[in-house]
Amino acid sequence: MGRDILEMPFAGVYPLLVPKAERKGRTRDEVDTLTSWLLGYTKEEIASALEGETSYGDFFRYAPAPNPLAERVGGRICGVKIEEIESPIMRSIRRLDKLVDELAKGKPMEKLLPA
Protein backbone atom coordinates (compact mmCIF):
# COMPACT_ATOMS: atom_id res chain seq x y z
CA MET A 1 0.00 0.00 0.00
CA GLY A 2 1.46 3.29 -0.97
CA ARG A 3 0.47 6.85 -1.67
CA ASP A 4 -1.59 5.72 -4.67
CA ILE A 5 -4.06 3.94 -2.39
CA LEU A 6 -5.07 7.35 -1.08
CA GLU A 7 -6.35 8.25 -4.54
CA MET A 8 -8.19 5.00 -5.19
CA PRO A 9 -11.97 5.04 -4.84
CA PHE A 10 -13.23 4.02 -1.41
CA ALA A 11 -15.70 1.74 -3.22
CA GLY A 12 -12.77 -0.06 -4.84
CA VAL A 13 -10.72 -0.66 -1.71
CA TYR A 14 -13.06 -1.10 1.27
CA PRO A 15 -14.93 -4.07 -0.24
CA LEU A 16 -11.61 -5.95 -0.32
CA LEU A 17 -11.52 -5.92 3.49
CA VAL A 18 -14.87 -7.67 3.79
CA PRO A 19 -13.99 -10.99 2.05
CA LYS A 20 -10.83 -11.21 4.18
CA ALA A 21 -13.10 -11.34 7.23
CA GLU A 22 -15.87 -13.40 5.62
CA ARG A 23 -13.45 -16.17 4.56
CA LYS A 24 -12.90 -16.75 8.26
CA GLY A 25 -16.59 -16.75 9.21
CA ARG A 26 -16.82 -13.08 10.19
CA THR A 27 -19.25 -10.55 8.72
CA ARG A 28 -19.38 -7.29 6.83
CA ASP A 29 -21.31 -5.87 9.78
CA GLU A 30 -18.28 -6.57 11.99
CA VAL A 31 -15.94 -4.86 9.52
CA ASP A 32 -18.31 -1.87 9.47
CA THR A 33 -18.34 -1.88 13.28
CA LEU A 34 -14.53 -1.72 13.36
CA THR A 35 -14.55 1.11 10.82
CA SER A 36 -17.20 2.99 12.81
CA TRP A 37 -15.20 2.60 16.01
CA LEU A 38 -11.97 3.74 14.37
CA LEU A 39 -13.27 6.70 12.38
CA GLY A 40 -16.67 7.67 13.75
CA TYR A 41 -18.74 6.91 10.66
CA THR A 42 -22.19 5.40 11.00
CA LYS A 43 -22.88 2.25 9.04
CA GLU A 44 -25.19 4.31 6.84
CA GLU A 45 -22.35 6.75 6.10
CA ILE A 46 -20.09 3.85 5.16
CA ALA A 47 -22.76 2.51 2.80
CA SER A 48 -23.18 5.98 1.29
CA ALA A 49 -19.41 6.31 0.75
CA LEU A 50 -19.47 2.98 -1.08
CA GLU A 51 -22.02 4.42 -3.50
CA GLY A 52 -20.22 7.74 -3.96
CA GLU A 53 -16.93 8.87 -5.43
CA THR A 54 -14.97 9.40 -2.22
CA SER A 55 -11.32 8.44 -2.42
CA TYR A 56 -9.93 6.04 0.16
CA GLY A 57 -7.65 8.78 1.45
CA ASP A 58 -10.48 11.27 1.82
CA PHE A 59 -12.57 8.71 3.69
CA PHE A 60 -9.85 8.62 6.34
CA ARG A 61 -8.83 12.29 6.02
CA TYR A 62 -12.37 13.58 6.66
CA ALA A 63 -13.46 11.02 9.24
CA PRO A 64 -16.15 12.59 11.42
CA ALA A 65 -14.83 11.44 14.79
CA PRO A 66 -11.49 9.57 14.82
CA ASN A 67 -11.32 7.54 17.99
CA PRO A 68 -8.55 8.75 20.34
CA LEU A 69 -8.19 5.16 21.57
CA ALA A 70 -7.07 4.12 18.08
CA GLU A 71 -3.51 4.97 19.15
CA ARG A 72 -3.65 1.75 21.18
CA VAL A 73 -4.04 -0.33 18.01
CA GLY A 74 -0.49 -1.25 17.19
CA GLY A 75 1.73 -4.04 16.08
CA ARG A 76 2.99 -5.02 12.67
CA ILE A 77 1.13 -5.14 9.41
CA CYS A 78 3.01 -6.33 6.32
CA GLY A 79 6.21 -6.23 8.35
CA VAL A 80 5.87 -2.56 9.26
CA LYS A 81 5.24 -1.31 12.79
CA ILE A 82 2.09 0.80 12.74
CA GLU A 83 3.57 3.19 15.30
CA GLU A 84 6.48 3.98 12.95
CA ILE A 85 4.37 5.04 9.98
CA GLU A 86 4.88 8.78 9.56
CA SER A 87 1.69 9.70 7.71
CA PRO A 88 -1.32 9.91 10.06
CA ILE A 89 -3.65 8.85 7.25
CA MET A 90 -1.55 5.82 6.36
CA ARG A 91 -1.26 4.94 10.05
CA SER A 92 -5.06 5.03 10.29
CA ILE A 93 -5.44 2.90 7.14
CA ARG A 94 -3.01 0.36 8.56
CA ARG A 95 -4.87 0.33 11.87
CA LEU A 96 -8.05 -0.64 10.05
CA ASP A 97 -6.10 -3.34 8.18
CA LYS A 98 -4.74 -4.63 11.49
CA LEU A 99 -8.19 -4.69 13.10
CA VAL A 100 -9.66 -6.60 10.15
CA ASP A 101 -6.72 -9.04 10.17
CA GLU A 102 -7.23 -9.71 13.88
CA LEU A 103 -10.98 -10.11 13.31
CA ALA A 104 -10.26 -12.66 10.56
CA LYS A 105 -7.95 -14.53 12.95
CA GLY A 106 -10.95 -15.06 15.24
CA LYS A 107 -10.28 -12.45 17.89
CA PRO A 108 -13.53 -11.45 19.67
CA MET A 109 -14.84 -7.95 18.91
CA GLU A 110 -14.62 -6.89 22.54
CA LYS A 111 -10.89 -7.70 22.56
CA LEU A 112 -10.23 -5.86 19.29
CA LEU A 113 -11.45 -2.47 20.41
CA PRO A 114 -9.26 -0.97 23.13
CA ALA A 115 -11.11 0.57 26.03
Q: What is the CATH number of the domain that holds 64?
A: 1.10.8.290
pTM of the model: 0.92
Q: Is 58 helix (H, G, I), strand (E, B) or coil?
A: helix
Q: Is residue 90 part of a domain?
A: yes
Q: Is residue 12 part of a domain?
A: yes
DSSP assigned state of 9: B
The rounded mean pLDDT for the chain is: 93
Q: Is residue 21 part of a domain?
A: yes
Span 94-114, average pLDDT: 93
Q: Is the pLDDT of residue 3 over 80?
A: no
pLDDT at residue 115, rounded to an integer: 73
In the chain, the number of structural domains is 1
Q: Is residue 69 part of a domain?
A: yes
Helices then strands, each counted (H, E), the chain? 7, 2
Q: Which domain holds residue 16?
A: 4-107
What b/e string do you get for 69-98 counting C-beta neighbours within 10 Å, with b at 16 or more?
ebeebbeebeeeebeebeeebbbbbbbbbb
pLDDT category, 81, cuts 50, 70, 90?
Answer: very high
Q: Is residue 113 part of a domain?
A: no
Q: Is residue 114 part of a domain?
A: no
